[in-house]
Amino acid sequence: MRRMWIIAAAVFLLCGCGRQEMRFTVRESAEDAFPETEEGTLQAETEEIPERENVREPDIRVYVCGQVASPGVYTLPEGARAVDAVTAAGGLLPEADECAVNLAEKLSDGMQITVPVKGEAGSASAGNGKVDINRADAEALQTLPGIGPAKAQAIIAYRTEHGPFSDLNEMKKVPGIGDALIEQIRDQAAAG
């Protein structure tokens, strides 16, 4: 039996381990396991494995601006993070406030990443004077009525895990946030 396995291993190695799957049948002798062809050589049974289709995730486009080397619109694979967008834009400039941008944030199509200058609060603003719940850090979120440190951290944790909020009403999925709180912050917050 040991001789049989040695012969099978040798045939496998000689045939190559490319895109074929080899099946061996244990028989009494090697001649039974590998029938001879008309030319007198041993032939192993092989079966072609179907080629795996290349499954490619869709692309997203994001706008990166502010304190990056090459601001612009970049195409990235679905599931990319803010750090990937910043890298595509040539990286951060020396005056960039990297802590103002959540570099671990999952990106979505059409999103804008704004990297502010150190000390500038630009990344927390939705551009209309409202706090952007998708970009604001814990300190900026706490400027909203009814949001303290615990709720601010819960908002950041939720958007890090699930991606940006599509609108304020989606914040109801965050533990501890309900309709009353959303109505309370509606004039001061936006999902940018």
pLDDT at 41 over 60: no
Does the pTM surpass 0.75? The reply is: no
Give the count of beta carbons closer than 10 Å to the beta carbon of residue 176.
Answer: 12
Whether 170 shows a pLDDT value over 70: the answer reads yes
Spatial distance between the Cα atoms of 134 and 63, rounded to a whole number of angstroms: 15
Reported as a pLDDT band with limits 50, 70 and 90, residue 11 is: low
* pLDDT 10s digits, 96-138: 888 878 888 888 888 888 888 876 644 454 445 688 898 888 8
Domains belonging to the chain, first-starting first, are 2-48 (no CATH), 56-120 (3.10.20), 130-192 (1.10.150.280)
For strand 72-77 and strand 59-66, is the pairing parallel, antiparallel, or unpaired?
antiparallel
- What sign results for the dihedral spanned by CA atoms 155, 158, 163, 168? negative
Sign of CA dihedral 120, 123, 124, 130: positive
Where is average pLDDT lowest: 7-21, 60-74, 152-166, 168-182? 7-21
Which pLDDT score, from 0 to 100, does residue 35 have? Answer: 55
Contact 105, 159 (CB under 8 A): yes
Cβ of 13: how many Cβ atoms within 10 Å? 9
What is residue 92's three-state secondary structure?
strand
Question: Does the structure show a pLDDT above 80 at 53?
Answer: no
More confident residue, 153 or 98: 153
Token pair of 140 as six digits: 């900026």
Can you tell me the mean pLDDT for 54-61?
A: 76
Above 90 in pLDDT, residue 179? yes
Check residue 138 and give its pLDDT: 84
CA distance 100 to 166: 21
**What's the confidence (pLDDT) of residue 22?**
44
Average pLDDT for 143-172: 89
Cite the beta strand spans of 14-100 per DSSP E: 20-22, 46-48, 59-66, 72-77
> Does residue 180 surpass a pLDDT of 70?
yes
